[in-house]
Amino acid sequence: MDVRQVSYFLAVVEHGGFSRAASALDVAQPTLSQSVRALERELGTELFHRVSHGVVLSAAGKAFVGPARQMLRSIAAVRHSVDSRGECAELTLDLVTVPVLAVHPGASLVGSFRRANPHIFVRIDEPDVDDGLHVLIRDGHSELGLSHLPLPRLGLDVVELGVQELWLAFPPGTDVGTDGPAPLTRLHGADIIGVPRGSWQRDLVERALRDHGIRTRLVVEAGPREAVVPLVLGGAGAAFVPRETARAAAGRGAVVRPTDPPLRQAYGLVHRPGPLSTAAGAFVAHARTRCATG
């Protein structure tokens, strides 16, 4: 097994096929295919199922993604430590985050980080469900995770950054009866737009409503989180959204309020114990500074 084989394997994974990976790497497709086949022979198992419409990862392939990325990060760290170019060496940051944190503070953090470190390539992944983020970190698929806290007991290190707060967004023209926070009791019997089960946001909302004996009607379950505000604006119902999203929705006509009691949860960066790569260490330091000052 060599670095090129592992790099080619990950390129096929990330580009969704051999032809697109070959084009991105500027290599001949037969060369790439032969390299991946050689890797499969060395591992003694197929990493991809070759199907009529392309390739899909086998069970072994899925299991190999994390170790493969971890291998390349370790090699990059060694090269960086002996590279006379120092911070100008090409580096990659692997970050996994749940959708609600990808928007805020994720987008702002990555944007300011890239402006300060234009030589670092950032790859952002999303878990199938929010709870799966910690497993992706533990298994090496990504080096850093932007996650809500506290964590399951998986032995990960935590860098707490701040607190996210949910507000209520109502359709335009809704009479909420106050300029201050909206009591959760006001939602008894209300039509609610929710996000899928297994998400931090839904768990927090359902726990708060249950604790206060409030029963609502879930009328829309929106898998695409970007659809929630348009659904509110279209009159489908009210929704719990992050404070920053609520303020943007207010500019489009939604009626928004903080909740009483407030709905808040901490968030931060998580990673496996031990030294971080140069790129990940730089991102952690950057996030600490940005969140402390902003």
Give the model's pLDDT for residue 231. 97
Specify whether the CB–CB gap between 54 and 104 falls below 8 A: no
pLDDT of 293 above 90 = no
Task: Report yes or no: 264 and 164 within 8 Å, Cβ to Cβ.
Answer: yes
pLDDT band of residue 88 (cuts 50, 70, 90) is very low
Where does the chain hold its CATH 3.40.190.290 domain(s)? 163-266
pLDDT for position 87: 47
Mean pLDDT of 173-189: 89
Q: Is 270 in contact with 158 (CB distance < 8 Å)?
A: yes
Q: Rounded to whole angstroms, how far apart are CA atoms 143 and 136?
A: 9
What's the mean pLDDT in 176-196?
90
Question: What is the domain class of 163-266 according to CATH?
Answer: alpha beta
pLDDT, tens digit, for every residue of 22-42?
Answer: 888 888 888 888 888 988 888
SS3 per residue for 30-56: HHHHHHHHHHHHHHCCCCEEEECCEEE
3-state secondary structure of 119: coil
Residues 113 and 209: their CA atoms lie apart, in Å, by 38
What's at 105, amino acid-wise? P
Q: Which two tokens stand for residue 133?
A: 């983020």
Q: Which of the pair, 166 or 88, is modelled with greater confidence?
A: 166
Position with higher pLDDT, 129 vs 255: 255
Q: What is the pLDDT of residue 157?
A: 92
| Widest distance between CA atoms in the chain | 69
**Residue 268: pLDDT band with limits 50, 70, 90:** very high
Between 1.10.10.10, 3.40.50.150, 3.30.70.2190, 3.90.79.10, what CATH number should domain 1-65 receive?
1.10.10.10
Which range has highest mean pLDDT (1-10, 90-99, 240-249)?
Answer: 240-249
Residue 230: pLDDT band by 50, 70, 90 thresholds? very high
Task: Decide if pLDDT at 1 tops 90.
Answer: no
- Average pLDDT across the chain, whole number: 88
Q: Token match 């290190």: residue?
A: 157
- The segment(s) of the chain belonging to CATH 1.10.10.10 are 1-65
Highest mean pLDDT among 1-5, 14-18, 100-104, 227-231: 227-231
